[in-house]
C-alpha cells in the first residue's frame, strides 16, 4: 500500500523560498503527484501537480526525481498569506484510490 510522510511543521520568514518534501513509496506508476494547500475551516485547494522531473506554475514548482519515491514542493518568496497546511496526494497502484500525505504546517513569520 502507498505510504506518505511529510515534516510535521516548518517556519519561514517572508520573502524566503520554502521547500516541503513528501516521501511516498509504492505509488501508482502512471499517475500524477499533486499538492494542496489548506486554510482553517476550508477544503484543500489545488496548487500544482506533476508526473516526473520539474513542473512550474505561477505559484509554485514541483520537483520529482526519476524514482518517484518523493516529491518536493517549492514556494518562492513566501508571504504571510502562505501560512497554511500543505499536503501531497498520491495514487494507489492499480486503483482509483488516493492517499494524502500527513501534512506540513507552514508558518510564515514577518
Partner 1 sequence: DAGITQSPRHKVTETGTPVTLRCHQTENHRYMYWYRQDPGHGLRLIHYSYGVKDTDKGEVSDGYSVSRSKTEDFLLTLESATSSQTSVYFCAIRSREGNEQYFGPGTRLTVT
Q: Which residues bind partner 1 (CB under 8 A)?
A: 31-32, 34, 41-46, 49, 87, 89, 91, 95-103
Count CB neighbours of 14 within 10 A.
Answer: 13
Query: Nearest Cα to 2, choosing from 103, 89, 104?
Result: 89
35: phi then psi, degrees, rounded to nearest 5: -120, 145
Which grid coordinates are listed for 27? 505509488
Residue number with CB closer to partner 1 (97 or 110):
97
Rounded distance between C-alpha atoms, residue 10 and residue 85, angstroms: 10
Q: How far is the CB of 80 from partner 1 (least distance, A)?
A: 23
Q: How far is the CB of 46 from partner 1 (least distance, A)?
A: 5
Residue number with CB closer to partner 1 (66 or 96):
96
Residue number with CB closer to partner 1 (41 or 110):
41
Q: How far is the CB of 9 from partner 1 (least distance, A)?
A: 13
Amino acid at each position: 500500500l502507498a505510504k506518505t510522510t511529510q515534516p510535521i511543521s516548518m517556519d519561514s520568514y517572508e520573502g524566503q523560498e520554502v521547500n516541503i518534501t513528501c516521501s511516498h513509496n509504492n505509488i501508482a506508476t502512471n499517475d500524477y503527484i499533486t499538492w494542496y494547500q489548506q486554510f482553517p475551516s476550508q477544503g484543500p485547494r489545488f496548487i500544482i501537480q506533476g508526473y516526473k522531473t520539474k513542473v512550474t506554475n505561477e505559484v509554485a514548482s514541483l520537483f520529482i526525481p526519476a524514482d518517484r519515491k518523493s516529491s518536493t514542493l517549492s514556494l518562492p518568496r513566501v508571504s504571510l498569506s502562505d501560512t497554511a497546511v500543505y499536503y501531497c496526494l498520491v495514487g494507489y497502484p492499480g486503483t482509483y484510490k488516493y492517499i494524502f500525505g500527513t501534512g506540513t504546517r507552514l508558518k510564515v513569520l514577518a
